[in-house]
Amino acid sequence: MILLEVSHETRYDYSAPVSLAHHLAHLQPLSDEHQQLLSFKLHTDPAPGAERAGFDVLGNAERHFSLAAPHRHLAVRALSRVRLQARFDALEPSASPPWDDLADSLRYVARAPFQPAVEFALPSPYVPLLPALRGYAAPLFPPGRPVAEGAIELMQRVHADFRYESQSTQIDTPLAEVWATRRGVCQDFAHLMAGALRGLGLPVRYVSGYLLTHAPEGRADAGRAMQGADASHAWVQVWCPHTPGVPGGWLDLDPTNNLVPGTGHVRVAVGRDFGDVTPLRGVIRGGGGHHTLQVGVRTRVIEHGGPTPERRLLEKP
């Protein structure tokens, strides 16, 4: 168990006054059996004229706020305290269902019971179905292979074959371009894994969240800077129902850092892709033709209750 504090600061500076703005934030971490949200504060400068908090259809906390007074900048600071317990320390990948049986069970059959996970096996705006990605994953999924085993090996392969390079892509960089250049950021790594597995008919959720800035004590790489730690992080959840050690059926995998998340990952929201869970987005009137954006995230340990059983997976030769 570990107690973390996360500070997420976003600042926009506009070249001309903004007269009206409406924003949507996904900045409040999820809370469940393995991740307890102890406190959350959201501060906005200028202060919003109207504000509303709620949850979307997937249970993600969201905050809507509007500003009707002219402003030249917008600063948003979210401060969270979260207690984490490891979710996958009892994971048994070999005991997960065969991937092909799982994919077949999600095919449409008239009057058959609806399986909500099927939504995440379909293409989405940021993750189109690319034949090249399906071909990339297919050799790792021979008939009958347990889905968790194949997904973990695919994570290892993405980590080995693609280079993490800060600012190498933009939010709207097409997935096909990331595939061609073999480089990107955590958002791209998550979209690549999602596209490859969805191409096989398997459900994958995109996860936005935070990562410890440095690997914690108790690990062989303690103190090492984690990739993607100084901004919002992203990884995936693969649908592995009835698998020992996978509560709720969704197995988290972080291809950017090649590990099964333990207590160093804070989940904020889940969706089909980045567009569903963007940390902060909105529409504005005014602002001129230019703005600058600064984002800073810091995640630190407040209290450490024992070893952190994150499972770093070695790349295959």
Using a pLDDT cut of 90, give the percent of the chain over it. 82
Q: Where are the beta strands (DSSP E) in 151-249?
A: 163-164, 183-184, 204-211, 233-239
Average pLDDT, the chain: 91
The domain limits of the chain are 2-84+278-304, 93-276
What b/e readout covers 101-134, taking b as 16+ CB neighbours within 10 angstroms? Answer: ebbeebeeeeeeeeeebeebbeebebbeebeebb
What pLDDT does 306 receive? 56
Is 97's pLDDT higher than 80? Answer: yes
Architecture of domain 93-276 in CATH?
Roll (3.10)
Query: CATH number of the domain at 2-84+278-304, out of 1.10.510.10, 1.20.58.1290, 2.60.40.2250, 2.60.40.3080?
Result: 2.60.40.2250
pLDDT in tens, 191-242: 999 999 999 999 999 999 999 865 544 445 555 555 555 678 999 999 999 9
The pLDDT, as a whole number, for residue 289 is: 84
pLDDT at 54 > cutoff 90: yes
Residue among 189, 317, 164, 169 nearest 253 (CA): 189
pLDDT at 314: 43
Bridge partners (DSSP) of residue 266 are 210
Q: Provide the whole-model pTM.
A: 0.91
Quote the pLDDT of residue 304. Answer: 78
